[in-house]
Amino acid sequence: MKIALIAHDKKKQDLINFCVAYQPVLSKHQLFATGTTGQRIMDATGLSIYRFQSGPLGGDQQIGALIANNEMDSVIFFRDPLTAQPHEPDIIALLRLCDVYQIPLATNMGTAEILIQGLKNGDLHWRDIIHSKLEDTVE
């Protein structure tokens, strides 16, 4: 599975702690992240992560493009709902794309826990079915 990891500044440490706790599960998947968040997670966990630009510089949109092309399977985005974000339209567009393309999205620790447990238990294999159907239509 391809998993995007994103966190606003005040939530980065929470996401790092989450990734440390679930490093054994996350290590079995392809991970993507926005700039600083990805580097900090890699430094703390040793996980291999493909890093995009930082969110305000287009990283959210880069992840959104993967979602629109059905190349992302889930998004863990620890948002800070109490701080205004200068790139709020990009954030809303990313969340909208998750809804449009039915991509599992966790925006807080509680939902991320449920998502990661589902991933661990194989409850997201329906994404593999979608990928195989897309491959069949391309051939």
Name the residues annotated as catalytic: 60
Nearest Cα to Cα of residue 17 among 122, 94, 26: 26
Q: In DSSP terms, which residues pair with 106 in a beta bridge?
A: 76
Long-range contacts of 15-21 (CB under 8 A, 24+ apart): 15/41, 15/76, 15/78, 16/40, 16/41, 16/44, 16/45, 18/76, 18/78, 18/109, 18/112, 18/116, 19/44, 19/45, 19/47, 20/44, 20/45
Chain centroid to Cα 100, Å, comes to 16
